[in-house]
Amino acid sequence: MLDIQKLLAEMTVEEKCSLLQGKNDWYTVPVERLGIPSVMVSDGPHGLRKQDDSKENPGMNEAITAVCFPAGAGTACSFDRSLLEELGGLLADECQAEHVGVLLGPAANIKRSPLCGRNFEYYSEDPVLSGEIAAAWIRGLQRKGVGCSLKHFAANNQETLRMCVNETIPERPLREIYLANFERAVTRGKPWTMMCSYNKINGTYSSENSWLLTDVLRKEWGFDGLVMTDWGACNDHVAGIKSGLELEMPRAGDDDDAIAAQAVRDGRISMEELDRAAGRVLQLVDRVLEGRKEGMVFDREAHHRKSREMAREAMVLLKNDNELLPLARGGKVAFIGAFAENPRYQGGGSSHITSSRELCALEAGADYAEIIYARGFDLTAAEPDAGLIAEAVQAAREADSAVLFLGLPDERESEGYDRTTLALPENQNALVEAVLAAQPNTAVVLHNGAPVVLPWADRVPAILEAYLGGQACGGAVADLLFGEANPCAKLAETFPLRLEDTPCYLDFPGDGGKATYSEGIWVGYRYYDKRSMPVCFPFGHGLSYTTFEYSNLTLSTDTLEKGEITVSVDVTNTGKRAGKEIVQFYVHPLAPQVSRPVRELKEFAKVALESGETKTVTVTLTPRDFAYWETGIHGWYAEPGEYLVEAAASSRDIRLEKKLTVVNRPLPVPVSGDMPYGEAMKIPGAEKILDSFLKDAQSIAGLASDQLGESGKAMMEAMLRELPLHSCCSFTPVTRETVAKAVEALQKLPQA
């Protein structure tokens, strides 16, 4: 559609510079002289929040009517790539109908702390799940001609001081956790655009971090699209353009155009850099024009029904003692809690949708049973209300069973600020205790965007985590409560027992705009498993109204050096009703030489089974799935050795395991005077070079054992093993010159 090179040749410097920031909050700049149109971008990941720009100066929060789908925290629990692709497609239809060219999502930052106010929008604590879910959403949207903006690149893991916080993140966790999800989404989703994050990483704003935006994103991962800022994230327009940023949003005023043009005239921005940036804006405009489907209409009610279906697949049955659920239809059921009537189904901030309609559980439940309603608590209060509780207890007593609708009121979690507690409001906890005492057949439904502490979890027989389930969430909850649908989702994040147990408790959200990721790679289940800590509900956990058995775990080979291995497992529905099972595949190193998680999710699959049916689930793994980020080589390295490949129903419900040997060259060992003697001796041929040290060292060790006994010998050998070569002069009669010559000779030795 656009001849980009021709246009670049015809454009003036000023015209090219004008493209490098928005026209306003939501549009790119047109160049009418050359027939370059403006395109519109709009939020958000679970529904179209398009400002109604027919009005003068539309406010930030005015948005047209759209369908609100379940938020990311829930859809990630579906572990279902096809569901996310379908969601992307539905959102694309709504964007096409509204002439929106780019939808600002998916939001895929890792859940470092459950306190993060934005976690309702994000997917997981695990980079593989987060990256796969994001990639699927991208494919579904872009396949229908609408661009995405994968956000927020990178490490936007808190809302506190998000626009200026400097995060100190060591290389390994940065690569293995906070970039790995984006790497997977970029390489498997091929996003048209990325949105850089507000924060600094190791001292540099993401909006002007050339290592991040060019070296990693483009040179390593092959990203070929455009990078825009988060709204207001640009710190230095010129530095941004030189780093691989193309579009500053929203418009920061004419001076940034002039600043860029002056920088070109000064030579601080080369014509090549300017054409590269302007060319990427033109490429985006071209992709949007290519993808546009004029006259698109869609069935809003059909989208509403889809939202209900997706919500069913995104709600996690955490507990179901004595098979309390599903409830019998036609009985008398007490629905207690304000969320039964006013469900909280989305979060606050840029993703907030003007929903086309809302379906609450009270309305939907009436299709299944006689519902008695009691509000139970006041959404705007925290203190228990004795009158409301008394009404609720009365309703619970009169009914065959009770369902409590609890969760986090709007102001408890939102974009823009973090939570300071994982607790539910006290008036809700008090209500649980009172109702449970009156009605043992009580289930709890939770409406929250991130984990909450559940002090009564071991006493309430059934708990359904509904997350923020979109505008039809009440229908999905009713469908699941009464068995119209069988729950199949599994947690994409750990529910801890206490806030104090969380991995970054001591460092979140940091002090004075400085966040130190001192927990390293120990995020989510990686942390709790490594420390064998109890949790309320583990990553990957979720129940069904039926049961499943795993059998016949098979690897296509028991040795992996390059290429890939096929892993398959049979799953049987051993219960009485149809259901879907999410099978998780973890990799578990048996004797790692570096500190590694107990297990890491590397693949997953969802399988639908009729009662009694068996199907084989097959996935493939590659050496990269066994690798960690080795800072010595600044790259991925799969340690040679033995691993277990595990087929699991959750990170703490490992059903089957098979041993696999990974073959790989040993790491090149950096040889220097710092090198411990024991490491040096592992280099083939080293002993003859170190012979002079050897004899002296052995004589010292021998002396020690004469004088100090075996323990003395062991101590001396351990000391010697870890003695840096340069320190040998202090404990053996070799000279510094001898050591230097030995190091030189060792450096010349070929390593295996």
Over the Cα atoms of the chain, what is R_g? 29
Question: What is the rounded distance in angstroms from the CA atom of residue 678 to the CA atom of residue 727?
Answer: 13
- State the nearest-atom distance from the C-beta of 683 to ligand GLC, in Å: 51
- State the nearest-atom distance from the C-beta of 150 to ligand GLC, in Å: 11
Length of the chain: 752
Nearest CA among 286, 280, 282, 278 for reference residue 261: 278
| Residue at 747: amino acid letter | Q
Give the CA angle between residues 58, 62, 66 to the nearest 5°.
Answer: 130
What tokens does 749 get? 């030795």
Contact flag: residue 230 with ligand GLC (CB under 6 A): yes
Contact between residue 639 and residue 620 where contact means Cβ atoms under 8 Å apart: no
Question: What is the rounded distance in angstroms from the CA atom of residue 629 to the CA atom of residue 608?
Answer: 36
Instruction: Identify which of residues 194 and 739 has a Cβ nearer to ligand GLC in the complex.
Output: 194
Question: What is the rounded distance in angstroms from the CA atom of residue 239 to the CA atom of residue 146?
Answer: 29
- State the nearest-atom distance from the C-beta of 230 to ligand GLC, in Å: 5
Contact flag: residue 418 with ligand GLC (CB under 6 A): no
Instruction: Identify which of residues 153 and 405 has a Cβ nearer to ligand GLC in the complex.
Output: 153
- State the nearest-atom distance from the C-beta of 231 to ligand GLC, in Å: 4
Instruction: Identify which of residues 320 and 350 has a Cβ nearer to ligand GLC in the complex.
Output: 350
- State the nearest-atom distance from the C-beta of 257 to ligand GLC, in Å: 21
> What is the bridge-based pairing of β-strands 401-407 and 514-516?
unpaired
- State the nearest-atom distance from the C-beta of 80 to ligand GLC, in Å: 24
Phi/psi region, residue 187 (left: phi>0; alpha: psi -120 to 50; beta: rest), is alpha
Contact flag: residue 413 with ligand GLC (CB under 6 A): no
Backbone angles phi, psi at 290, to 5 degrees: -60, -40
Question: What is the rounded distance in angstroms from the CA atom of residue 647 to the CA atom of residue 643?
Answer: 13
- State the nearest-atom distance from the C-beta of 43 to ligand GLC, in Å: 5
The pattern of x and - marking residues 707 through 726 that bind ligand GLC according to CB under 6 A reads --------------------
Residue in the structure block whose two tokens are 């823009």: 416
Of these, 27, 79, 182, 231, which contacts ligand GLC (CB under 6 A)? 231
Q: Is 338 exposed, middle or buried (0-12, 13-18, 19+ CB in 10 A)?
A: buried
Contact flag: residue 350 with ligand GLC (CB under 6 A): yes
Residue 646's DSSP bridge partners are: 586, 657
The pattern of x and - marking residues 597 through 626 that bind ligand GLC according to CB under 6 A reads ------------------------------
Q: Site size for ligand GLC, by CB under 6 A?
A: 6
Instruction: Identify which of residues 231 and 522 has a Cβ nearer to ligand GLC in the complex.
Output: 231
- State the nearest-atom distance from the C-beta of 156 to ligand GLC, in Å: 7
Contact flag: residue 541 with ligand GLC (CB under 6 A): no
Secondary structure of residue 677 in the 3-state scheme: helix
Instruction: Identify which of residues 75 and 650 has a Cβ nearer to ligand GLC in the complex.
Output: 75
Give the CA angle between residues 229, 231, 232 to the nearest 5°.
Answer: 90
- State the nearest-atom distance from the C-beta of 197 to ligand GLC, in Å: 8
Instruction: Identify which of residues 151 and 287 has a Cβ nearer to ligand GLC in the complex.
Output: 151
The pattern of x and - marking residues 140 through 159 that bind ligand GLC according to CB under 6 A reads -----------x--------
Instruction: Characterize 230-258 residue by residue with b for buried, 16 or more Cβ atoms within 10 angstroms of its Cβ, and e for exposed.
Output: bbebbbebbbbbbbbbbbbbbbbeeebbe
Nearest CA among 152, 160, 347 for reference residue 233: 152
- State the nearest-atom distance from the C-beta of 570 to ligand GLC, in Å: 42
Answer yes or no: 126 catalytic.
Answer: no
Contact between residue 525 and residue 551 where contact means Cβ atoms under 8 Å apart: no
- State the nearest-atom distance from the C-beta of 84 to ligand GLC, in Å: 18
What tokens does 101 get? 């060219």
Contact between residue 232 and residue 195 where contact means Cβ atoms under 8 Å apart: no
Give the CA angle between residues 681, 687, 688 to the nearest 5°.
Answer: 155
| Helix, strand, coil % in the chain, rounded to nearest 5 | 35, 20, 45
Instruction: Identify which of residues 194 and 434 has a Cβ nearer to ligand GLC in the complex.
Output: 194
Instruction: Identify which of residues 199 and 494 has a Cβ nearer to ligand GLC in the complex.
Output: 199
Contact between residue 195 and residue 228 where contact means Cβ atoms under 8 Å apart: yes
Instruction: Identify which of residues 349 and 384 has a Cβ nearer to ligand GLC in the complex.
Output: 349
DSSP character at residue 698: H
Of these, 15, 43, 246, 313, which contacts ligand GLC (CB under 6 A)? 43
DSSP per-residue string spanning 628-647:
EEETTTTEEE--SEEEEEEE
CB atoms within 10 A of CB 712: 15
Instruction: Identify which of residues 231 and 677 has a Cβ nearer to ligand GLC in the complex.
Output: 231
Instruction: Characterize 493-527 residue by residue with b for buried, 16 or more Cβ atoms within 10 angstroms of its Cβ, and e for exposed.
Output: bbbbbebebbbbeebbbbeeeebbbebbbbbbbbb
Instruction: Identify which of residues 196 and 567 has a Cβ nearer to ligand GLC in the complex.
Output: 196
Instruction: Identify which of residues 230 and 413 has a Cβ nearer to ligand GLC in the complex.
Output: 230
The pattern of x and - marking residues 192 through 221 that bind ligand GLC according to CB under 6 A reads ------------------------------
- State the nearest-atom distance from the C-beta of 241 to ligand GLC, in Å: 20
State which of positions 52-111 bind ligand GLC (CB under 6 A). 104
Q: Which of 93, 230, 256, 418 is catalytic?
A: 230
Residue 240's DSSP bridge partners are: none
Catalytic residues: 230
Q: Footprint of ligand GLC on this chain (CB under 6 A)?
A: 43, 104, 151, 230-231, 350
